[in-house]
Amino acid sequence: MKLSPSKPREVTTDEEAAIRVEGIWAGYDGHTALEEVGFTVAKGSIVGLIGPNGSGKSTLIKVILGMHRPWQGRVRVMGRESTAARRILGYTPQIETVDWQFPVTVSEVVMTGRYGRLGPLRRPTGTDKAVVESCLQRLRLTEVAGRQIGELSGGQQRRVLVARALAQEPQVLLLDEPMAGLDAAIQHELMGLFEGLRDEGKTLLVATHDLSCVAGCFNRVLLLNKRIVAYDDPTKVFTEELLNEAFKSHLILLPVERRAFYGEHHGHD
């Protein structure tokens, strides 16, 4: 399957915007992580979020989710404040932040994506079970549904997180490094899934280190280093001048299996 981006759409009204970020300043313990960040994401598009470690990518995702309160600015998702939009937001955290030794099965993890829709007794209905089964099938996890999550491969674990996010039946997906450490074939498979979700009208903001994925089928790329360095079509952002401005000495381009990755010094995001 050949993946290709559709032409970026300009967002001029709230009705066209899935995500609208306005003048966000945010950080931790007095240390700034984001400086005057503002942008809009059109409904039904995929935006790649790239930048060096410590650039604020994860912080930005958490601000949009309403998990981290900014010092200044505001966020609207599908025209609503973040706290009012949680039921239409799906999220996958970085794999390193998950306790994979917790005694729970794949199916049970995916079912937690339904918790926002369950009643006070948290008893799944037939509809909930059907949604979970559909998500397991879509991510090719049916055969491992009953296994403990600690028994899975890294690729399977990442697919579990995506399946959990899809079980929420979100309109907007925020994915923090969903393809990190995966081989090219599995990454291509996930990108096919993401493109399919876009075709269904969903909106995706994907933090990634894989520049080829972004260049290949994302509508736009947000190049971040605390502030927005560039936000445009990938062909206009992936220039030596802009990449050097964002990454400075951190950027190391690595061609792996005809894909372009960047490596970085360790830091915090």
Q: pLDDT tens-digit profile of 58-79?
A: 999 999 999 999 999 999 999 9
SS3 94: coil
All structural domains of the chain with their residue ranges: 17-99+171-263
> What string of DSSP letters covers 166-230?
HHT--SEEEEESTTTT--HHHHHHHHHHHHHHHHTT-EEEEE-SBHHHHHHH-SEEEEEESEEEE
Q: Can you read off the two tokens belonging to residue 155?
A: 């690729």
Tens of pLDDT, residue by residue over 206-226, are 999 877 777 778 899 999 999
Average pLDDT, the chain: 86
What gap in Å lies between CA 7 and CA 171, rounded to an integer? 21
Residue 131 pLDDT: 96
Task: State how far the alpha carbon of 1 is from the alpha carbons of 139, 142, 160, 185, 204, in Å.
Answer: 17, 23, 23, 12, 20
Q: Which CATH number fits domain 17-99+171-263: 3.30.70.3170, 3.40.50.1220, 3.40.50.300, 3.40.50.1460?
A: 3.40.50.300
d(CA 244, CA 125): 52
- What is the reported pTM? 0.86
* Greater pLDDT, 182 or 171: 171
